[in-house]
Amino acid sequence: MKLSIERGALLKAVAQAQSVVERRNTIPILANVLIEAEGDTVQFRATDLDIEVVDRAPAHVDRAGATTVAATTLHEIVRKLPDGALVTLTADSAAGRLAVDAGRSSFSLATLPKEDFPVMASSEYESNFTAPAPVLRRLFDKSKFAISTEETRYYLNGVYMHVAEGEDGRVLRCVATDGHRLARIDAPLPEGAETMPGVIVPRKTVGELRKLLDDDEAKIAVSVSETKVRFATPAITLTSKVIDGTFPDYTRVIPQGNTRRLEVDASEFAKAVDRVATVSSERSRAVKLQLDEDRLILSVNAPDSGAAEEELAVAYGDDRLEIGFNAKYLLEIASQVDRENAVFMFNSAGDPTLMREGDDQSAVYVVMPMRV
């Protein structure tokens, strides 16, 4: 195998591949990236056995072929090469080396046979559809903060992507929860997605997927089966196993009968929460919300370190209410709001509280209160 490629294109392709590779590997081949050159493209493939990413880049191929080298080493080399350099990759299968040459730099990397590289078995997808990148970006960006890291409830370690019945018909919905807060984000159902089985997309996949979604114009081809999910652009294909578990029935978690309505400027609110929380150093910092006629008092009382209080002008017209929340959860939820005011719907100090952006039902958050 021998090929030449521009440094920028190579860096982009290798960067995406190496980020899938786990830093600590017990199986040496999993630390490697599989490089395959044919026609006028070079393809980089990396996997951790749960996720596989394939990156394609145009290249001048002198001699078709394939080999594998350490992904992080190759990435580091390419990253340090000067911008605009032309990089030549030459595999010497007899010596088991890959030569990387650019200008006056030359590197020789150990390779492992391409036959040893595990390629994820292809499978039948029950549903194939296309979605604009910004739509998927919103679905995952607004839900991923609520993904759980708890090992015991592994089925919460991802975003549950499924078809659901929304306010105005069927929607493509992403839900994530860790038991303390929940995010439910809806998007119009893309054509062809109706038959999609609900899948739990693992946390790491959500992170990798994000890199495909930066381009506002991009259309993402999505394929879903019971066990796998695939996201593809012309240059990158990301295939991932989904979490083998049942996502809990979240619908009964979302409060329906909360009537006390608070409307507040989300960024003012977030800043105030952040300020008062400063006095407490505990891991689970509790912020108390005291609600009265068009007035909100946020306060933190940490017996060991101090106390803080801040008053905000808000829209609130119901009975007096005192309720406490984990400051971090409040901040994370408030920071999801970007267009309108945050609307909180409370019931009592012991019941889950609902938050949404204005009256937009397509993004709904639930947070559990704390005793304060």
Partner 1 sequence: MPALCRDCLHPFETGSRCPACRSPRVLSHPELFSLSIAHMDCDAFYASVEKREDPSLADKPVIIGGRHRGVVSTACYVARIRGVRSAMPMFQALKLCPDAVVLKPRMSLYAEVSKQIRTMMEELTPAVQPLSLDEAFLDLSGTQRLHGAPPAVMLARLVRRMKDELGLTGSIGLSHNKFLAKVASDLDKPRGFRVIGKAETPDFLRDQPVRLIWGIGPASQEALDRAGIRTFADLLRWDRTALHARFGSMGERLWHLARGEDHRRVSAHEPVKSISSETTFDADTADPDILDGHIWRMAEKTADRAKARGLAGRVVTLKVKKADHAIITRRLSLREPAQLADTIYRTARGLYEQVAGEGPFRLLGCGISQLVPETEVSAAGDLLDPGARQRGEAERAADRIRARFGPDAIVKGRALR
Positions touching partner 1 (CB under 8 A) are 148-153, 156, 177-182, 248, 253, 282-284, 286, 324-326, 329, 350, 352, 366, 368-372
Contact 250, 174 (CB under 8 A): no
Residues 163, 164, 167, 170, CA torsion sign: positive
What is the nearest approach in angstroms of partner 1 to the Cβ of residue 123? Answer: 31
Q: Give the number of other Cβ atoms within 10 Å of residue 49's Cβ.
A: 11
The contacts of residue 221 (CB under 8 Å, 6+ apart) are 128, 129, 130, 230, 231, 232, 233
What is the nearest approach in angstroms of partner 1 to the Cβ of residue 288? Answer: 12
What is the nearest approach in angstroms of partner 1 to the Cβ of residue 363? Answer: 17
d(CA 114, CA 100) in angstroms, rounded, equals 18
What is the nearest approach in angstroms of partner 1 to the Cβ of residue 102? Answer: 46
Minimum CB distance to partner 1 smaller for 178 or for 340 = 178
Tokens of 192: 């062809």
Minimum CB distance to partner 1 smaller for 181 or for 228 = 181
Minimum CB distance to partner 1 smaller for 86 or for 349 = 349
Minimum CB distance to partner 1 smaller for 150 or for 318 = 150
Contact 292, 319 (CB under 8 A): no
Minimum CB distance to partner 1 smaller for 67 or for 177 = 177
Helix (H, G, I), strand (E, B) or coil at 156: helix
What is the nearest approach in angstroms of partner 1 to the Cβ of residue 150? Answer: 5
Minimum CB distance to partner 1 smaller for 87 or for 366 = 366
Contact 217, 172 (CB under 8 A): no
Helix (H, G, I), strand (E, B) or coil at 342: strand
How far does the chain reach from its first CA to its final CA, in angstroms? 66
Minimum CB distance to partner 1 smaller for 80 or for 283 = 283
What is the nearest approach in angstroms of partner 1 to the Cβ of residue 340? Answer: 25
Phi, psi of 260, deg, nearest 5: -80, 120
Beta-strand relationship, 360-367 and 2-6: unpaired
Distance, CA of 349 to chain centre:
32
What is the nearest approach in angstroms of partner 1 to the Cβ of residue 372? Answer: 8
